[in-house]
Amino acid sequence: RLLLNHPVAELIAVTSRQFAGKTLAEVFPRFAGRTKAGQLRFSDSKPEKISSAAEFIFLALPHGVSSGVAKVFLDKGLRVIDLSADFRLRDPAIYKEFYGDDHLAPELLKEAVYGLAERYRTQIADARLVACPGCYPTSILLPLLPLVREKVVLTNSIVINSLSGVSGAGRKVEADYLFAECNESARPYGIPKHRHLSEIEQALTAEAGEEVKVQFVPHLVPMNRGIISTMVMDVAADVDESEIEAVYKESYKKDPFVRLLGNSALPDTKNVAGTNFIDMSWRMDPRTDRLILTSAIDNLVKGTSGQAIQCLNLMCGYPETAGLW
Amino acid sequence: RLLLNHPVAELIAVTSRQFAGKTLAEVFPRFAGRTKAGQLRFSDSKPEKISSAAEFIFLALPHGVSSGVAKVFLDKGLRVIDLSADFRLRDPAIYKEFYGDDHLAPELLKEAVYGLAERYRTQIADARLVACPGCYPTSILLPLLPLVREKVVLTNSIVINSLSGVSGAGRKVEADYLFAECNESARPYGIPKHRHLSEIEQALTAEAGEEVKVQFVPHLVPMNRGIISTMVMDVAADVDESEIEAVYKESYKKDPFVRLLGNSALPDTKNVAGTNFIDMSWRMDPRTDRLILTSAIDNLVKGTSGQAIQCLNLMCGYPETAGLW
Amino acid sequence: RLLLNHPVAELIAVTSRQFAGKTLAEVFPRFAGRTKAGQLRFSDSKPEKISSAAEFIFLALPHGVSSGVAKVFLDKGLRVIDLSADFRLRDPAIYKEFYGDDHLAPELLKEAVYGLAERYRTQIADARLVACPGCYPTSILLPLLPLVREKVVLTNSIVINSLSGVSGAGRKVEADYLFAECNESARPYGIPKHRHLSEIEQALTAEAGEEVKVQFVPHLVPMNRGIISTMVMDVAADVDESEIEAVYKESYKKDPFVRLLGNSALPDTKNVAGTNFIDMSWRMDPRTDRLILTSAIDNLVKGTSGQAIQCLNLMCGYPETAGLW
Amino acid sequence: RLLLNHPVAELIAVTSRQFAGKTLAEVFPRFAGRTKAGQLRFSDSKPEKISSAAEFIFLALPHGVSSGVAKVFLDKGLRVIDLSADFRLRDPAIYKEFYGDDHLAPELLKEAVYGLAERYRTQIADARLVACPGCYPTSILLPLLPLVREKVVLTNSIVINSLSGVSGAGRKVEADYLFAECNESARPYGIPKHRHLSEIEQALTAEAGEEVKVQFVPHLVPMNRGIISTMVMDVAADVDESEIEAVYKESYKKDPFVRLLGNSALPDTKNVAGTNFIDMSWRMDPRTDRLILTSAIDNLVKGTSGQAIQCLNLMCGYPETAGLW
């Protein structure tokens, strides 16, 4: 959807084994009626055969697969925007710990840039290989990074609870994600060690300059889109709400997709649905002296594909918001 | 529904100003077809006039109203099961702090028994006035009380996140609870000081023998029924999962409505929907040495009316599960 | 659920290949905490081996499978309540037309009784083999049969639209029934010849004494349970609402699960959810002289398993409502 | 949303009594972050005072109110696009029959153009006053008008069933539209004479050149957006699917928002959600010789505001799709 509507970038090829030969519009009837969606057909070409006219490729493949094909495209001179987990971690040992397999292209891990645009804007602009963050990490790192960097919170006290709509599970055809199993159901899962912990802690550790471990509990709730993350933590001595606010205002003063809600309004997934925004609030609890952060994103946009387009815009020198308003 | 189906208790009167003159079946068409629902009419009688044949009365009134009428019924010799917040707190000052008004019957607060059946079974059996716990507190206290009592967790470290279905807001006709405002929406609210904190901390403090303050963040998610509570905390030195399990097994060995899921299964609101069960899990995170508890209840049953019936059963000497299986 | 709660019938065996060896409670955690659910284990025994202590067997198998095993049980002296489509049709040719395969036990079709309790109560009581109606046919035939029998409507004019919750598709693990494909989606399907047409027309034809063909369009809507059927038709000369009402009141005067809403109230699936009731309304449109019937059932209860229990009650001489209130 | 994103039209004023003084972004937090949404404040100015810089005004007022203020704007030289029912009907007597009150500006009814762009494109382009069609009528008339005009269907046989998401009720704060009353609920309503019948029949009658009466039964289903309409009717002698297809292809060959699905695919509200498209299918039932039409629109876009923008584009000579892709 985002590429079909992009004002500058042109979509010239799409690939799929399952849907090879069909047009975009046939596979996704919601796109019918748009000229390009009726013309562009999925091909099942091998990476080597994909149109040499392309300058960029988006890889939306399972982890363990992206790492096997990225190099082919890089070698052909394409720049790669990867939406899998394969290039998010710097350390192949941690990749193996969390994803279970040896990494297929460890030599690329150093080069890959973590595609959190608000934090790594400059690096993304020059990157050959961008690893788009996971949906949970996006909703968690944007609120946490500035506070960790400025050392206003105690990093060993961070407890994170997240709520995700069901599309977060992708389009997996499993009984757990059937309508009647998800509707009227809320449930925690992935306790105690969800895979996204690895990239959350890697980014926080880098920002803090010391090892950070956090508590993270994700939940599935019955809606299509959206993530809420609620983060509770102790603050450094004498830190108050005004200091938190000052850090955020300074950190995100030029970021078109960060909306700072302040200390009274609270985020709601419906306010970010279909958009690339992240909504963030902060509030000190005077009873406990803890800080409570909350954030909302659309897991399919800011949490995945919107963020990927944001990276594309940076890499191409387009306006950062092109195709994303 | 529960009283219409109860094998022993007989429903002899229902009151409502709004629906006065109408039968139960007219107001709630789902009950049509049951003889009693077609016969019993809502009356708007003053408390003084309500059938003297009654032995028990359930008060499902807003806070600040129950406290005004409970005494009338007690003076007539009825036993009162109150579903509002009015008799849950022992200290009228805390009541005023959290609910904003002076308590109308502070002399009854000492006598009132907190209707958490698994914990106060004996006291409930003999009570004239039972204050049924709120829905969030039920889902939170049943997992926490035994651990606090046995001092296996550090009480100043408890962070609670809860997810509630929309019926938790009652039947309030406000824009916030319209279908299109709740569907496809997840949102935190009540930060940092939700009213239920008062009874949660009162019960934990009593159980710990020292003041306990917790962090509590409720969220609204798009389903009709159900609460998930996820609690993270530090444990006392040398406590491990087997000790947690032992505490739970001992504490709840005779409780028909407590289902201990252990350290691998996780609760899901759909497994408790329409029932009086609470499902509870526990899990140590070896990375952080924190304990993660999760629980699920149906907020309308174990969280409200089912628990009220459970109290009635105890007060009458009926089997605790009567009308609740 | 219904058999675990039944006051007389005792569940003594459950079978499943997929879940063999597991208890009911393990497979369906919502049943945990009930003694029997924790004891009863799924077996994958062949039909020949299933407990000879059984008097009744419920077959909840795909069509084309039930017909292959029913005879084994009948020969062992069990009475069979079949929830598939296999024994609903009298004519094996029509079975083949709608279900695609030759019927495996055509000799049983004559003996099988259509388990629509309100219409075939006497025959069900004496049956060895009961074929429970489909969910759509139940919601459609109960409103239509009396009017067709009394010849107050013109049978060639009947247009039926039905709306079903997603559980109507069973627990099929297909992409079409994933949460994100069903939520925020309403869609017609099965046009023009849904399989349930065969049993709808068979029953109407038998009742009318002449061939009846109807128009039937089912739709899928995003909820777990429930069917709404809306039926529009011409009436015979001089028929008015009072005559419709008289036919219904006479036909259903002794039926505990039929709730006649009359000409002003309208059914709502939430009023029948979890119950064995059918709610029915009728209304003449003075602008078009057509009659509009609407009905609501819970597809999983009155539309499937509740109706099966109702048949069991009739077959055993239990009160018709046993286990179903 | 649509006007904020429109490439040509500029939004210069918004009015509201309830929200006077607040910015668009404050009232609708989903629009925060857009410059204009943060600047534009709701005013409660009287119609006479509204910015004289405006060339167009959209009236989104209750019926009975629009008709009172439209003339003020017309007299000031603005062109009016009305989203209420007030200018849809030609005959004030029919308005009174369906809406209960005398029309406040009957002299404008002759001038008003019915804003169904695909049918009245030329007239809309020149209109001073456009009456945007209701959501149900849009989903019903686009499939029916060409067939009625070409006399390939029998107009006295048309039976229409529609399913609407809850946003179709607007933002009315009534108990009927609370989340817990709509979720897990499907229900017919408005039987037998929904207000939209008046404009449906007016348009069909005009197109047929003879009086047309149809049967129309709307239903509410638990989703935010979308309408499905299913229409069943007899066809004229010798009409077959290929003739239906030919009529549609000719009628809609230049319409960017009409997607003809043909006789095998079926519409799904999720494929049109957020778009201005209408998806339409047709199918003859060889068993009954009836034609079955189905359509899907987003009631909030093609059914309301998208169609209004489409009219604006026509009135201004912009590309018809401006701001609507």
For residue A140, report the phi and psi dihedrals to the nearest 5 degrees. Answer: -100, -40
Residues 6+ apart with CB under 8 A from A264: A281
For residues C199 and C112, the answer to whether their CB atoms sit within 8 Å is: no
CA distances to A290, C230, C292, D42, D192 from C239, in Å: 73, 19, 13, 56, 17
D118: confidence class by pLDDT, cuts 50, 70, 90: very high
For residue A282, report the phi and psi dihedrals to the nearest 5 degrees. Answer: -140, 150
What is the longest distance spanned by two Cα atoms in chain A? 63
Rounded-to-integer distance, Cα C31 and Cα C40, Å: 11
Q: Output the tens digit of pLDDT for each of chain A's 325 residues.
A: 999 999 999 999 999 999 999 999 999 999 999 889 999 999 987 887 887 789 999 999 999 999 999 999 999 999 999 999 999 999 999 999 999 999 999 999 999 999 999 999 999 999 999 999 999 999 999 999 999 999 999 999 999 999 999 999 888 899 999 999 999 999 999 999 999 999 999 999 999 999 999 999 999 999 999 999 999 999 999 999 999 999 999 999 999 999 999 999 999 999 999 999 999 999 999 999 999 999 999 999 999 999 999 999 999 999 999 999 8
Rounded-to-integer distance, Cα D287 and Cα A301, Å: 47
Is the alpha carbon torsion for C78, C82, C85, C87 positive or negative? positive
Q: Output the tens digit of pLDDT for each of chain C's 325 residues.
A: 999 999 999 999 999 999 999 999 999 999 999 889 999 999 987 887 887 789 999 999 999 999 999 999 999 999 999 999 999 999 999 999 999 999 999 999 999 999 999 999 999 999 999 999 999 999 999 999 999 999 999 999 999 999 999 999 888 899 999 999 999 999 999 999 999 999 999 999 999 999 999 999 999 999 999 999 999 999 999 999 999 999 999 999 999 999 999 999 999 999 999 999 999 999 999 999 999 999 999 999 999 999 999 999 999 999 999 999 8
For residues C244 and C290, the answer to whether their CB atoms sit within 8 Å is: no
Q: What does the DSSP assignment read for B257-285?
A: TEEEEETT----HHHHTTSS-EEEEEEEE
Residues 6+ apart with CB under 8 A from B210: B155
* Nearest in space to D88 (alpha carbons), one of D318, D311, D252, D313: D311
Rounded-to-integer distance, Cα B282 and Cα D280, Å: 52
Residue D255 has pLDDT above 80, yes or no: yes
Is the alpha carbon torsion for D84, D85, D91, D92 positive or negative? negative
Residues 6+ apart with CB under 8 A from D75: none
Residue B125: its H or E element: helix B117-126
Rg of chain D's alpha carbons, rounded to an integer?
A: 20
Q: How many CA atoms lie within 13 A of D17 on its CB side?
A: 4
Residues 6+ apart with CB under 8 A from B135: B164, B168, B227, B297, B299, B300, B303, B304
Express each pLDDT in D140-174 by its tens digit. 999 999 999 999 999 999 999 999 999 998 888 99
Contact between B192 and A232 using a beta-carbon 8 Å cutoff: no
Report the residue from C159, C185, C222 with minimal CB separation from D159. Answer: C159
- DSSP strand pairing (A227-234 vs A159-164): antiparallel
Q: Chain B: which residues have CB within 8 Å of chain D?
A: 165-167, 171, 173-175, 177-184, 222-224
Nearest CA in chain D to A5: D325
Residues 6+ apart with CB under 8 A from B75: none
Instruction: Point out the residues of D that are catalytic.
Output: 135
Q: Which of D179, D184, D223 should we substitute to test contact with B (largest number of B Cβ atoms within 10 Å)? A: D179
Residues 6+ apart with CB under 8 A from A256: A320, A321, D33
Rounded-to-integer distance, Cα C256 and Cα B164, Å: 36
B and D: number of Cβ contacts within 8 A: 56
In the sheet that B187-188 helps form, which strands lie side by side, from edge to edge? Answer: B187-188, B215-220, B159-164, B227-234, B290-297, B278-285, B258-262
Q: Encode D262-284 in three state secondary structure.
A: ECCCCCCHHHHCCCCCEEEEEEE
Is the alpha carbon torsion for A76, A79, A81, A86 positive or negative? positive
For residue B33, the one-letter residue type is G
**What pLDDT sits at residue A286?**
96
Express each pLDDT in D91-106 by its tens digit. 999 999 999 999 999 9
Residues 6+ apart with CB under 8 A from A10: none
Rounded-to-integer distance, Cα B113 and Cα B130, Å: 5
* Nearest in space to D212 (alpha carbons), one of D183, D240, D233: D233
- DSSP for residue A9: -
Residues 6+ apart with CB under 8 A from B126: B315
Instruction: Point out the residues of C that are catalytic.
Output: 135
Q: Chain D: which residues have CB within 8 Å of chain B?
A: 165-167, 171, 173-175, 177-184, 222-224
Reduced to 3 states (helix: H, G, I; strand: E, B; else coil), residue A214 is coil
Q: Chain B: which residues have CB within 8 Å of chain A?
A: 159, 161, 163, 165, 181, 183-189, 191-193, 213-215, 217, 219, 221-226, 228, 230, 232, 266-270, 273, 283-288, 290, 292, 294, 296
Rounded-to-integer distance, Cα D7 and Cα A320, Å: 18
Burial of D185 (0-12, 13-18, 19+ CB in 10 A): buried
A and D: number of Cβ contacts within 8 A: 42
For residues A96 and A37, the answer to whether their CB atoms sit within 8 Å is: no
Which tokens go with C225? Answer: 């349970």
Contact between B228 and A213 using a beta-carbon 8 Å cutoff: no
Rounded-to-integer distance, Cα A123 and Cα A126, Å: 6
D8: confidence class by pLDDT, cuts 50, 70, 90: very high
**What pLDDT sits at residue B115?**
98
Nearest CA in chain A to C168: A180
Rounded-to-integer distance, Cα D168 and Cα D299, Å: 7
Which tokens go with C137? Answer: 């046919």
CA distances to A179, C167, C172, D115, D217 from C298, in Å: 17, 10, 19, 41, 21
**What pLDDT sits at residue C47?**
81
Contact between C182 and A181 using a beta-carbon 8 Å cutoff: no
For residue C210, report the phi and psi dihedrals to the nearest 5 degrees. Answer: -155, 160
Structure pTM?
0.97
Report the residue from C213, C214, C223 with minimal CB separation from D186. Answer: C223
Rounded-to-integer distance, Cα B170 and Cα B85, Å: 14
Is the alpha carbon torsion for B162, D172, A225, A300 positive or negative? negative
**What pLDDT sits at residue D302?**
98
Average pLDDT, chain D: 96
**What pLDDT sits at residue D275?**
97
Burial of A253 (0-12, 13-18, 19+ CB in 10 A): exposed
CA distances to D63, D108, D134, D297 from D88, in Å: 10, 11, 9, 20
Reduced to 3 states (helix: H, G, I; strand: E, B; else coil), residue A220 is strand
Q: Does the annotation count B135 as an active-site position? A: yes
Rounded-to-integer distance, Cα C213 and Cα C198, Å: 10
Express each pLDDT in B126-182 by its tens digit. 999 999 999 999 999 999 999 999 999 999 999 999 999 999 988 889 999 999 999
What are the residue ranges in chain B where pLDDT is below 50? none
**What pLDDT sits at residue D49?**
81
